[in-house]
Homo-oligomer: A and B are copies of this chain.
Amino acid sequence: MKFSKATNYALHTMLFLVAAAPDKHIGVQQLAERQSVSPTYLSKILTKLVKAGMIESASGANGGYRLKRSWEDISFLDIIHAIEGTASLFDCDFNHGPDCLIQLVMVEAEDEMETYLKNKKMSDLARTVKLSKISL
């Protein structure tokens, strides 16, 4: 079980936008170069973020991707869900009654992680980046 690389690309792109360009359009070309990934691939990933309402895109010259107005509240969980989907990490396929005890525990465990990720906002992280001049 692993988080996908796509999620990593999405998280880094979002952090870059929030920390360095919260209002400018940035082309996928430039974003892709920073992460050494092909523009078309990154584009597919970012399109998911667009559909999830976190960023918006503009075609044509000087186009690119830009944060939406409501970016202050975007959490890690929002981004992860947009890329990986919202399905539970654990499925007990057996049909042994309506509630599988193991399933219940696993879902609760996942909830613990998700609660943490829901409370971590990109904007919090961006503040840290600016203070410490950490490179993205």
Contact = CB atoms under 8 A, between A and B. Distances in A.
B125 A116 contact: no
Interface in A1-22: 1-5, 7-8, 11-12, 15
Contact of A109 (B76, B93, B96): B76
Contacts of A108: 116
Interface string A102-117: 1001101110110111
Interface residues of A, number: 42
A97 interface: yes
A8 B94 CA distance: 10
A102 B12 contact: yes
A3 to B, nearest CB: 5
Given A108-B116, A110-B113, A112-B115, A102 B3 contact: no
B1 A101 contact: no
Q: Which 6 A-B pairs have the closest CB atoms?
A: A113-B113, A112-B116, A3-B90, A109-B116, A112-B112, A96-B135
Interface of A: 1-5, 7-8, 11-12, 15, 35, 76, 84, 87, 89-94, 96-97, 99, 101-102, 105-106, 108-110, 112-113, 115-117, 120, 125, 128-129, 134-136
